[in-house]
Copies of this chain bind each other. A is one copy, B any other.
């Protein structure tokens, strides 16, 4: 089968690496060069909104998916008229709009923090009166890795925050005093069968994921079940085919949904070395009409992002239990250039190896 991927970053790269053993071939639409997917298939170098490039890209493909969630929805619709696109443009559209995302959670019966979409300073003031402080502001669109976010502590700071975020449509939501951030990666196949990876614990720094611990330690009874129920509702709400990630807050032993990602997700990278089937393979199995693979855990795994710079591969690989995943991206402050999965036999070994890798990564 010929699979088309909108986007040519590390997620596209890891999809291709997982898909070639299944006999899949890949074509990417990616405006930039060089790209992490170079030498992993054919790359159509063009803008995402170029209809002629989209037609050239679509020619002969069996299915299209994306690895980049800010692909124009119109482009996904254009392609949908020619070839199956999974997840559908509807899921993509919701994933691009933080307010629509929250509304989808509410529509699917999934608890969230109190929120409001606001399009003016006046609406923002009104939302603050209803929701209270601290108030979290996020741009409705194009935010990722903590960009386009602010926390406001009182009325006096509202207008400055509004302007600092570009005077654009915002999501305003209550600050959640969460115990920790969790996420669940789930998949749904053509046959409607769903599969769930264990809930994982995520540590962010400056809004960027730095560490995932899988499975999440100290899970209170019922939490995994709740996460699976929420993920299943979303998968069924969208008639979704493929992998979807839901970011969650744990608050007083319960879960609040924070964001969804209609694609493979950074908090699922541990599955490459820690689960029976990786999220990348399961996404491809789903969109290609193949049965989903087991989401069972091989052993507790910690994923550490490489941000900005790559430590010497020798120094990483000499640490027991490490698996290195580089993206062929040049170093740049804060940029995700790779990750290290750590899985060992015993939990003490795991903590020791993780600590050694973290030393290499610096502060």
A50 at the interface (CB under 8 A from B): no
**B310 pairs with A290, CB closer than 8 A:** no
Stretch at the interface among A17-25, A90-98, A244-252: A17-25
Q: List 6 A-B contacts (CB under 8 A).
A: A21-B325, A22-B324, A23-B313, A40-B40, A290-B314, A298-B298
Contact of A317 among B41, B285, B317 (CB under 8 A): B285
- What sequence of 0s and 1s flags, for each residue 303-329 of chain A, a beta carbon within 8 Å of any chain B beta carbon? 000000010011001101101111010
**In the complex, which residue of chain B has the Cβ closest to the Cβ of A327?**
B23
Number of copies: 2
Between A291, A298, A314, A321, the greatest number of chain B beta carbons within 10 A of the residue's beta carbon is seen for: A291
CA distance A160 to B324 in the complex (A): 56
A218 at the interface (CB under 8 A from B): no
**B289 pairs with A21, CB closer than 8 A:** no
CB proximity of A75 to chain B, nearest CB, Å: 24
Between A13, A21, A26, A323, the greatest number of chain B beta carbons within 10 A of the residue's beta carbon is seen for: A21
**A21 pairs with B324, CB closer than 8 A:** yes
Known contacts A22-B326, A39-B42; is-contact A294 B317 (Cβ 8 Å): no
- What sequence of 0s and 1s flags, for each residue 32-53 of chain A, a beta carbon within 8 Å of any chain B beta carbon? 0000000111100000000000
A239 at the interface (CB under 8 A from B): no
CA distance A227 to B40 in the complex (A): 38
**B293 pairs with A317, CB closer than 8 A:** yes
In residues 114-159 of chain A, which contact B (Cβ within 8 Å)? none
In residues 41-93 of chain A, which contact B (Cβ within 8 Å)? 41-42
Contact of A23 among B23, B321, B328 (CB under 8 A): B328
Q: Which 6 A-B pairs have the closest CB atoms?
A: A23-B326, A291-B318, A21-B325, A291-B317, A39-B41, A290-B317
Q: Which residues of B contact A293 (CB under 8 A)?
A: 317, 323
Known contacts A293-B317, A294-B321, A317-B290; is-contact A310 B20 (Cβ 8 Å): no
**In the complex, which residue of chain B has the Cβ closest to the Cβ of A42?**
B39
With contacts A40-B40, A290-B314, A291-B318 known, what are 11 further pairs, Cβ within 8 A?
A21-B323, A21-B324, A21-B326, A22-B326, A23-B313, A23-B326, A25-B39, A39-B40, A291-B314, A293-B323, A298-B298
